[in-house]
């Protein structure tokens, strides 16, 4: 009876329509149905596997596709691919990890720095996999081999085939600082205008009315496309996502259709990975060269050589450019009219029309991020009046120049994610320019196992722009924390050293007097301190709130 009911239910289901219909449409319907009943998948593979309907309640693709069809789809995405072996096999899932293999998965052999999956062919075969895709040939009769010129890019395009759904509008934001704020503000604007929107990045996957899901700046290829597919199925219309230099260099976002994007700024970071600023910039520019569609918009607030390179890349790629520092006022204008402790008044304009908005931000770099978010929302079709209304309801982004509270003496305490020399300088300068604080104090450190060259630079910045500084620990990871602090103190001998971050924050608050301000920098939204191989619970903002509650 169960079998007959399931089969009857499947036959009665209407065939989907629209651009997001996967190759195996009946497979797609069955997966949707599984998500509701959560039972049919147990029986599905047994009696439906030959009808292009294979139900799965785990990480599998949305299609059951013959290998020949998969190859054709990859070629349609401009991926050169050669098949060595029979093409009549079917592939049901996708993986690039030897730790998460299921029978009939397509295995993509992505070489790592210290691990080559092709050295574990026996393990792959024992898991029931018969198709491998990668760059190096496999001389093993147990497998059908798909040879591609670039395994990481091939993995991303394959993930886009297995998980074809995406929100109607995707916007990618890159840059050294400000990515998280820009995508969060853009999501808030869309949500305020009544659009079902989400943001994805350092703060995780954030959607209105739902608890944020933890994540990383740019997820891996399979996780990202599965996430986009799920968002599409759940009715998400617009997505703003951070695109890191690592994600671009490793082709994690290939296969995502970006209608527009933003480049916030460029300063020193991640040189432990990219080695040089030139390579770092080149990685960032791939958002323009490879990801944003032709005639899409790139909004930029970058300056100097980065701005010149961005302009050239946009021109060559056929991408429209809106420069915050050289605004096309006929298209969209954003001007800060006044700045105070309560926030800022800004004017947004287009073709002679003007709207005045008050927003709760006190730092100019926050307003630059807002400008990028605003022009992207406007370009996506939001009318000026609706944009102004949505902007008036904006809230501060968690851990980004976030006002946490006031001491009984009247001094203010802010928490910010600033963990690069440029970000720290920008944050401290913004507090100084507000002209409402007598003295500026800062609590900061530097992360372990990361760019060592920026540590003395951070010390120089604090020495130049803060009235008092406390150097503490910030995710030392496997390094000796004392060594990290010494590198900072070498250029800032006047700073107070306090390795215990909680004690450092409390000491900083104790040093405040009327009209002072303390910036707790480096961790922002983070809720853990990474020491050795462990992540210990730690939240800068919670430490501040607790101290203020107990000591006024």
Q: Where are the chain's structural domains?
A: 2-48, 65-161, 166-391, 402-551
DSSP 423-443: HHHHHHHHHHHT---S-EEEE
What is the band of 23 on the pLDDT scale with cuts at 50, 70, 90? very low
**Higher confidence at residue 371 or residue 15?**
371
The residue ranges of DSSP E strands in 53-195, in sequence order, are: 65-66, 82-84, 90-91, 93-95, 105-109, 131-134, 144-147, 169-174
Both tokens of residue 441? 């104090």
Higher pLDDT residue, 66 or 479?
479
41 pLDDT above the threshold of 80: no
pLDDT band at 56 (very low <50, low <70, confident <90, very high): very low
The CATH class given to the 166-391 domain equals: alpha beta
Q: Return the CATH superfamily for domain 402-551.
A: Mur ligase, C-terminal domain (3.90.190.20)
Query: Other CB atoms closer than 10 Å to residue 152's CB: what's the count?
Result: 19
pLDDT 10s digits, 422-433: 999 999 999 998
Cα–Cα distance between 302 and 282 in angstroms, integer?
A: 14
| More reliable by pLDDT, 549 or 218 | 549
Q: Which helix (H) or strand (E) holds 403?
A: strand 402-406
> In a 10 Å sphere around its CB, with 0-12 CB exposed, 13-18 middle and 19+ buried, how is residue 365 labelled?
buried
Q: Please tell me the predicted confidence (pLDDT) of residue 269.
A: 86
360 pLDDT exceeds 50? yes
How many CB atoms are closer than 10 A to CB 509?
A: 22
Task: Indicate the pLDDT class of residue 64, thresholds 50, 70 and 90.
Answer: confident
Return the pLDDT at 256: 97
pLDDT in tens, 84-118: 999 989 999 999 999 999 998 999 999 887 888 99
pLDDT per position as a tens digit, 132-145: 999 998 889 999 99
pLDDT at 254: 97
pLDDT of residue 137: 87
Mean pLDDT of 48-63: 39
Helix (H, G, I), strand (E, B) or coil at 2: helix
For the cut 60, the answer to whether the pLDDT of residue 356 exceeds it is yes
Question: Among the listed ranges 37-46, 273-282, 379-388, 463-472, which one has the minimum average pLDDT value?
Answer: 37-46
Provide the pLDDT for residue 21: 33
* CA dihedral for 518, 523, 527, 531, sign (positive or negative): negative
The answer regarding whether domain 65-161 maps to CATH 3.40.1390.10 reads yes
| Partners of 414 in beta bridges | 403, 519
Of 121 and 215, the one with more pLDDT = 121
On the question of pLDDT at 6 being above 80, the answer is: no
The proportion of the chain whose per-residue pLDDT surpasses 90, expressed as a percent, equals 78
CB 131 within 8 A of CB 144: yes
**In the predicted model, what is the mean pLDDT of residues 211-234?**
86
pLDDT at 150 over 70: yes
- Say if residue 4's pLDDT is above 70: no
The DSSP call for residue 268 is S
Whether the pLDDT of residue 7 is over 80: the answer is no
The pLDDT score that the predictor gives to residue 40 is 33
- The reported pLDDT for the residue numbered 271 is 82
3-state secondary structure of 339: strand
Question: What is the reported pLDDT for 62?
Answer: 56
CA distance 171 to 422: 25
Where residue 435 falls among pLDDT bands split at 50, 70, 90?
confident
Residue 511 above 70 pLDDT? yes
Q: What is the CA radius of gyration of the chain?
A: 26
Provide the sign of the torsion angle of the four alpha carbons 471, 472, 474, 480, taken in this order: positive
Q: Which 3-state string (H, E, C) describes 334-362?
A: EEEEEEECCEEEEEEEECCEEEEEEECCC
Please determine, for residue 53, whether its predicted confidence score (pLDDT) is greater than 70.
no
Q: What is the pLDDT of residues 175-210, one digit of tens each?
A: 999 999 999 999 999 999 999 999 999 999 999 767
């Amino acid at each position: 009876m169960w079998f007959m009911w399931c089969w009857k239910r499947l036959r009665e289901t209407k065939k989907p329509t629209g651009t997001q219909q996967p190759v195996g449409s009946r497979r797609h319907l069955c997966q949707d149905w599984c998500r509701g009943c959560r039972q049919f998948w147990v029986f599905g593979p047994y009696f439906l596997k030959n009808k292009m309907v294979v139900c799965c309640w785990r990480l599998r693709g949305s299609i059951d596709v013959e290998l020949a069809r998969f190859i054709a789809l990859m070629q349609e995405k401009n991926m050169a691919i050669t098949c060595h072996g029979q093409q009549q096999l079917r592939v049901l899932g996708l993986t690039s990890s030897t730790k998460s293999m299921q029978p009939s998965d397509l295995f993509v052999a992505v070489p790592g720095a210290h691990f080559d999956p092709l050295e574990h062919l026996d393990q792959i075969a024992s898991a029931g996999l018969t198709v491998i895709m990668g760059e190096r040939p496999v001389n093993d009769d147990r497998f059908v081999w798909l040879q591609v010129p670039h395994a990481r890019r091939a993995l991303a395009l394959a993930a886009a085939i297995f998980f074809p759904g995406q929100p109607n509008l995707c916007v990618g934001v890159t840059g050294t600082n400000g990515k998280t704020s820009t995508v969060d503000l853009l999501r808030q604007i869309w949500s305020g205008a009544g659009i079902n929107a989400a943001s994805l990045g350092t703060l995780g996957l954030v959607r209105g009315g739902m608890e944020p899901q933890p994540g990383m700046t740019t997820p891996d290829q399979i996780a990202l496309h599965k996430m986009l597919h799920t968002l599409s199925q759940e009715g998400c219309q617009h997505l703003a996502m951070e695109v890191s230099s690592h994600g671009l260099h490793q082709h994690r976002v290939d296969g995502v259709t970006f209608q527009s994007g933003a480049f916030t700024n460029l300063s020193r970071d991640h040189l432990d990975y990219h080695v040089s600023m030139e390579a770092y910039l080149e990685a960032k520019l791939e958002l323009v060269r490879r990801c944003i569609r032709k005639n899409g918009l790139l909004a930029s607030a970058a300056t100097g050589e980065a701005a010149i390179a961005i302009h050239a890349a946009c021109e060559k790629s056929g991408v429209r450019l809106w420069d915050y520092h050289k605004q096309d006022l006929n298209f969209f204008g954003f001007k800060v009219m006044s700045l105070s402790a309560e926030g800022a008044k800004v004017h947004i304009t287009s073709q002679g029309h003007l709207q005045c908005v008050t927003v709760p931000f006190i730092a100019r770099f926050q307003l630059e991020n807002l400008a990028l978010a605003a022009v992207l929302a406007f370009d996506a079709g939001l009318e000026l009046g609706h944009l102004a209304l949505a902007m008036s309801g904006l809230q501060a982004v968690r851990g980004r120049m976030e006002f946490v509270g006031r001491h009984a003496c009247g001094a203010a305490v802010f928490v910010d994610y600033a963990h690069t020399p440029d970000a720290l300088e920008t944050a401290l300068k913004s507090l100084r320019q507000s002209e409402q604080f007598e003295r500026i104090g800062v609590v900061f450190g530097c992360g372990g196992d990361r760019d060592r060259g920026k540590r003395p630079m951070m010390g120089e910045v604090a020495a130049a722009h803060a009235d008092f500084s406390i150097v503490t620990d910030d995710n030392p990871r496997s390094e000796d924390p004392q060594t990290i602090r010494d590198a900072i103190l070498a250029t800032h001998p006047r700073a107070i050293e306090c390795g215990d971050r909680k004690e450092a924050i409390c000491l900083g608050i104790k040093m405040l007097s009327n009209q002072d301000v303390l910036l707790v920098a480096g961790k922002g939204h983070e809720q853990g301190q990474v020491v050795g191989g462990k992540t210990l619970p730690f939240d800068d903002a919670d430490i501040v709130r607790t101290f203020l509650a107990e000591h006024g």
